[in-house]
Amino acid sequence: MKKLLIINLLVMILFNFGHPVTPNLLIQKQIPTYFNGYLFGIMSFAMFIFSPFWGSLIDQKGIKNFLSIGVGFYGVMQLGFLFAPNVITMGITRFFAGMFSAAFNIGMTVLIYNSAQNSNKTKGLGLLMASNSLGGLIGQTISGYIAINLMYGIYLPFIIQFIGGIIMGVYLFYTIKEPKNKKKDNQKYSFKDMYIIVSKMKLFPLMFGIAFLSISHRMYVANIGVYVVDHLNGTPITVAFINNISFIINIIMNVFLINIFLKRTTPLKILSIEAIVGFIAMYIIVYIVPIKINTIIIPLIVFLMAVTIYRPMAQKIVLEKSKVNHGLLIGAINSANALGMIGGSFIAGYFYSLNPALPFIGILCSLLLSLGCFLWYKYVN
C-alpha cells in the first residue's frame, strides 16, 4: 500500500501544478480571471457526469488501464489548455481533464481499498485523502515558485504536467497489478442500471448529505481568499497561510485521528457530528466573534476539522454494504462530491456578489441540510 500512496502523492503533485498559474495564464490570453471559477466548475461537472461511468468500467475491466488512461490523458489535456486559443477551447480541455482525473481518482480509491488488509481499509482511505492534500500543498507550492522565479514560469507547469502525465501513465500501465481479492463484475451497466443499484441500496440520502457537505466546504474554499483580501486587509501571504492550515488539518485528521474516531463510533455518526460541529464553528464566526483574522482562526480550524473526513467516511459506508460494484459505488460518492463542488463554486460567487457575508450563511444552511440527510439515511436503513 505504501507504493500506491507514493504514486498517488506524485500524481496529486502533478494534478495541482497548473492551479496557481491558471489566473496568470488567463491574463496572458486577455481573459477575465473570474473565468477561473467557471473553468473549475466545468471540470467538476465532468467529474460528476463521468464518475459512475468510470466506476462501472473499473468493475468490469479492472483498474490499472484506467489509472494509466486517467493520468496520461490528463497531461495531454493540460497541454491543450495551455495552447487553447480562446475560453471555449479552454473550457473543452478542462472538461476532458475533469473526466480523465475522475478515472484516476476512482481507480486509485478502489485499488487502495481492495489491496489493504481488512483491519487497514479505513486507514488506507484516510491516508489516500492525506496524500491528496499533501500533493496539493507540494504541487501548488512548487508551481508558484516556478512561476515567480523561472523564465516562462507561467507555461512550464503545464508542460511539466504533460510530460509527467505521459511518463506516469506508461509507468502505471506496466507496473500496477490488479489486487488478488478484487472480483470483476462482467455485467455492463447503463446509467439506469446504476440508478437502480444505488436506489436499492438506499444510498441517495447519504449521497445528498455528502453533496451538501461538499457544497459547504467548496463555498468556504471559493470565498475565504477573496473575503480575507477584500474585507480583512489580508495579503497573498495571509491567504496562503490560511490555505496551508487547511492542508495541514486535512493531513492530521486523515492520518492520525480518523481511526481513533472509528474506534469509538460509526461512520454515519461521525458524518452527523461533522455537520453539527461545523455548523457551531461557522455560527460562531458569523454571529458571535468579530470577523478579524485573530478572532476567527480558532473556530475556522474547528470548522475545517469538521469538514475534512466526510469522503472516507462515506466511502467506508458504501464499500461495506456490498462485496461487488466497488468502482460504481465509489463513482457514486465521487459524483455526489463533485456535484457539491459545482454547486458550492457557483453559489459562493453569486452570493458574494450580493453580499460578502452571504456565502458564510449559505455554509450554515448547507450543513443543516447535510445533517438532515444523514438522519434520513439512518431512518431508511
pLDDT (tens digit per residue) in 111-168 = 988 887 766 777 888 888 889 888 888 888 888 788 777 777 788 989 999 999 999 9
Report helix, strand and coil shares of the chain as percent, to nearest 5: 85, 0, 15
Residue 164: what pLDDT? Answer: 95
Which pLDDT band holds residue 245 (cuts at 50, 70, 90)? confident
What angle (nearest 5°) sits at the alpha carbon of residue 103, between those of residues 98 and 106? Answer: 115
Asked if residue 208 has pLDDT above 80, the reply is yes
- pTM of the prediction? 0.81
Residues of the chain with CATH 1.20.1250.20: 1-177, 196-381
Q: What is the CATH number of domain 1-177?
A: 1.20.1250.20
Q: What is the pLDDT of residues 287-310, one digit of tens each?
A: 998 778 788 889 999 999 999 889
Where helices occur in the chain by DSSP H, the ranges are: 2-15, 22-28, 35-61, 64-83, 87-115, 121-149, 156-175, 191-200, 204-231, 236-252, 258-264, 267-283, 293-306, 310-320, 326-354, 358-380
The CATH superfamily of 196-381 is: MFS general substrate transporter like domains (1.20.1250.20)
Asked if residue 236 has pLDDT above 60, the reply is no
Of the two residues 367 and 50, the one the predictor is more confident about is 367
Which pLDDT band holds residue 354 (cuts at 50, 70, 90)? confident
Alpha-carbon span 113 to 106, nearest angstrom: 11
Where b means 16+ CB within 10 Å and e means fewer, 359-380 reads bbbbbbebbebbbbbbebbeee
Residue 235: what pLDDT? Answer: 65
Of the two residues 68 and 342, the one the predictor is more confident about is 68
C-alpha cell at 21: 498559474
- Which amino acid, 227? Y
Alpha carbon distance, N-terminus to C-terminus of the chain:
32
- Which amino acid, 9? L
